[in-house]
Amino acid sequence: MSAEDLDNYETEAELALYREYKDVIKLFRYVVETERRFYLANSVEFRTCNGGEDVYFDVKLSDAWVWDIYRPSRFVKSVRIVTFKDVNVEELTHTDADLDILDRM
């Protein structure tokens, strides 16, 4: 496989992932971003924990979708994230305007 073939494969895989994201975002209530991953989920439990002098975050997701180009199945029943970095959790509104913008992309 040439470098160009590999680039084309990755480009097509990224495009397919983006199209899947557009199709599934309407099914979820939350967007969760960490430094390593991007998730969609319907249930989020977020705890800030103290571990000695350090603070860490323990986040549990249920009924989730993972933005990961290399996963054969991106739908997962539950996910647990433990990190020392910030976690951004946003509740989706799914207004008609939001969905129209996604459909035009």
Domain that holds residue 11: 3-104
For position 74, what pLDDT does the model report? 94
Q: Total domain count for the chain? A: 1
DSSP 45-66: EEEEEEETTEEEEEEEEEEEEE
- Distance of CA 76 to CAs 13, 52, 64, 101, 104, Å? 19, 32, 5, 26, 28
pTM reported for the whole predicted model = 0.80
The mean pLDDT values, 10 residues at a time, for the chain of 105 residues are 83 92 94 94 95 90 95 93 92 68 50
